[in-house]
Structures are given as C-alpha cells and as structure tokens.
C-alpha cells in the first residue's frame, strides 16, 4: 500500500459509486437544493483542462421559452433518429425514454468555448479537440459529485447542437457538449436502462492490445 493511497473503506465506496452512476432519464419532480447544486457545480473548477484553459461554459436553462425550445429540438431529432431504424429495432427505439427533459427540475446546456485564450493554446495545438475533452472530463466529475449527493444526471445528445446554440443565443465559438438533466432519480440501479430493456449490453472485458 502506497502512502498516497486512499483507505480500503473509501475504495469500496468509490467502487460502489462507479457501479451506481447511471445516465438517468426518470426523475422525480421535487426541487434540488441550491446549495447542493452549487457544491456539485464547484467540481468543475477542480476538473482537468488542457493548458488550464477551463473552456467550460454553463447555461442554466430555466425559462419556459428556453426549455420548450430545447424540448422541441430533442423531439425533432429523436423522431429523425427513429426513422433510421426498422423492424424490431424501431419498435424498441420508439419505446425508449431517452430524456428527462419534461420532469428534471434542473437543466443545463454545457458548451466549450473553442476560441478561449486562456491557457494560451498549450496542449491543444495538434489536438484542438482537447478543449472539448476538458469539458467532458469536468462534466464527468460533476456527474459523480451529483451521485454522491444522491442526485442523478442524464446526458441528452439527440439534439441539433447548432440549433441549441442559436436558441440559447450563445457566442458563435461555443460548441454544445451536452444538455444535462439533473434531479432526484426515481430509482437506483447498477444496470444501464439500455441494458435492462435489451437495446445493447456492456462488454465483459476491456479490449487491451500490447505493442
């Protein structure tokens, strides 16, 4: 045991956190305490970012107009996605609940500012997508922080990202990373809903090759 390691008890709970983190689409409608939400959002500032560019930009979607526009965006793209399947797969897809946008008390559109000067481009010269990846890392930490509090997050990606950016009136250099529903999950599970309903299952091994 190295002296910089966390305790065995923490490791056990951390493993449980990994197993119970879910993409949540079924939320209760009761509100989220603002102090708890703020505490969870604070982990963004502890997230890794390329060159310390901190390119994350968060829009809290609160107004009826903004939520309606986001929901319409999802509904249009989800219908389009359904039309790409046929037979049993289409039948199954049509029954999936792929967002909690009608119920989730907190909704966030998270963007990456591709043009930020912060960090002076360090680490993002050959792979400018690193800025977007930084935002994804931050969202992943936020996801875990929410789960620690008992809250759930659902990542909605069945959206036209340009339409979302236009509807929210954000700068042209901002790229949508995801639309996030946050709230109290209806239930807790160690199995993804897509696996429960038979859409797809998780692999049993990690593909690792050696060179």
Residue 103 in contact with a second copy, rule: CB under 8 A: no
Q: Taking the CB of residue 125, how many other CB atoms lie within 10 A of it?
A: 9
**Minimal distance, residue 22 CB to a second copy, in Å:** 8
Binds a second copy (CB under 8 A): choice among 34, 88, 95, 207: 207
**Minimal distance, residue 156 CB to a second copy, in Å:** 8
**Minimal distance, residue 13 CB to a second copy, in Å:** 5
CA-nearest of 113, 157, 108 to 131 is 113
Largest CA distance in the chain: 57
Q: What angle do CA 157, 161, 163 make, to 5 degrees?
A: 130
Site track for a second copy across 15-34, x = CB under 8 A: -xxxx-x-x-----------
Rounded distance between C-alpha atoms, residue 202 and residue 177, angstroms: 24
Q: Which of residues 121-160 bind a second copy (CB under 8 A)?
A: 121-127, 129-130, 132-133, 136-137, 139-141, 143-145, 147-151, 155, 157-160
Residue 177 in contact with a second copy, rule: CB under 8 A: yes
Residue 89 in contact with a second copy, rule: CB under 8 A: yes
Residue 71 in contact with a second copy, rule: CB under 8 A: no
How far CA 144 is from CA of 13, 165, 176, in Å, comes to 12, 26, 21
Q: Are 41 and 114 in contact (CB under 8 A)?
A: no
């Amino acid at each position: 045991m190295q002296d910089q390691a966390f305790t065995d008890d923490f490791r056990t709970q951390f493993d449980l956190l990994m197993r119970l983190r879910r993409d949540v689409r079924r939320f209760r409608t009761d509100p989220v305490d603002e102090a708890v939400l703020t505490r969870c959002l604070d982990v963004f500032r502890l997230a890794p970012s390329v060159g310390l560019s901190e390119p994350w930009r968060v829009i809290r979607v609160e107004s009826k107009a903004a939520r309606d526009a986001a929901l319409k965006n999802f509904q249009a793209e989800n219908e389009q996605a359904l039309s790409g399947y046929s037979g049993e797969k289409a039948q199954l897809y049509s029954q999936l609940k792929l967002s909690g946008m009608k119920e989730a008390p907190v909704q966030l559109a998270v963007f990456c500012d591709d043009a930020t000067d912060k960090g002076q481009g360090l680490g993002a010269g050959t792979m400018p997508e690193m800025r977007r990846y930084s935002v994804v890392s931050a969202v992943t930490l936020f996801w875990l922080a929410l789960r620690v509090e008992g809250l759930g997050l659902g990542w909605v990606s069945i959206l036209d990202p340009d339409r979302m950016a236009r509807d929210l009136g954000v700068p042209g250099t901002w790229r949508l990373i995801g639309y996030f529903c946050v709230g109290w999950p209806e239930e807790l599970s160690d199995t993804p809903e897509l696996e429960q309903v038979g859409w797809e299952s998780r692999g049993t091994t990690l593909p690792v090759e050696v060179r």
